[in-house]
């Protein structure tokens, strides 16, 4: 991507109210099979969220998808909440803003723009649970984790903060990816 294009996109990102983000080479986005296993064994969203596994592509297809881009932006969202479940309202608001950003980037001519949202889709009070039954199919997007992205390794490779949390009172460092071309 040319410098002028990056400048133009950076302006769009900042104008849309996002101030904490970096450019990332898609080759540096780590995709790993273990992430999918963590979804299948240990996450309550598995099979219950229409934007989460097993409703997302295979790990190989996720890797191929990311390999089809030459540019991406990683957006950082630090947050502390009183109770873990309190993050859902915040996630919904952030993901709605990110979806609007994806649209602006698309309208700027980057027709492959695709968002990997900051959290699993929580746009509806009750998720349909199956991709084909999604109530807002045009608005829901998978998270990086749902696309088998090792967010820890990817963030650390970018010099961005992320740690295993031991207590809900600790600050979360959550991330979204916007694939651009
Ligand atoms: S838009 Fe609604 S039904 Fe679709 S994945 Fe999100 S929460 Fe589930």
Span 23-32, pLDDT tens digits: 999 999 999 9
pLDDT value, residue 174:
97
Q: Closest Cα to atom 2, ligand 1: which residue? A: 124
pLDDT of 84 strictly over 90: no
CA distance 19 to 13: 8
Q: How many CB atoms lie within 10 A of CB 57?
A: 16
28 C-alpha vs ligand 1 centroid, how far in Å?
29
Sign of the four-CA dihedral 114, 120, 122, 124 = positive
- The whole-number average pLDDT for the span 130-157 is 97
Whole-number pLDDT of residue 85:
82
* In the predicted structure, residue 90 carries a pLDDT above the cut 90: yes
pLDDT at 56: 98
Give the distance (Å) from ligand 1 centre to CA of residue 90. Answer: 16
Tell me, in angstroms, the distance from the centre of ligand 1 to residue 124's CA.
Answer: 5
Chain centroid offset of residue 76 CA: 10
C-alpha span between 86 and 98 (Å, rounded): 19
For residues 85 and 46, the model is more confident at 46
Q: Give the residue extent of every domain in the chain.
A: 3-180
């Amino acid at each position: 991507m040319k410098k002028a294009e990056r400048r133009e996109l950076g302006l769009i990102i900042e104008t849309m109210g996002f101030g904490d983000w970096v450019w990332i080479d898609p080759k540096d986005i780590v995709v790993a099979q273990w992430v999918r296993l963590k979804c299948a064994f240990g996450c309550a969203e598995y099979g219950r969220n229409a934007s989460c596994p097993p409703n997302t592509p295979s790990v190989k297809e996720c890797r191929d998808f990311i390999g089809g881009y030459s540019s991406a932006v990683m957006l950082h969202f630090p947050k502390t909440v009183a109770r873990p479940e309190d993050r859902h309202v915040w996630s919904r608001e952030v993901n709605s803003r990110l979806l609007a950003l994806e649209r602006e980037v698309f309208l700027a001519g980057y027709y492959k723009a695709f968002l990997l949202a900051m959290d699993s889709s929580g746009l509806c009070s009750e998720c349909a649970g199956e991709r084909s039954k999604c109530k807002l199919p045009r608005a829901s997007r998978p998270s990086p984790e749902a696309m088998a992205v090792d967010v820890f390794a990817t963030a650390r490779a970018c010099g961005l903060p992320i740690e295993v949390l031991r207590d809900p009172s600790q600050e979360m460092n959550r991330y979204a990816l916007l694939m651009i071309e």
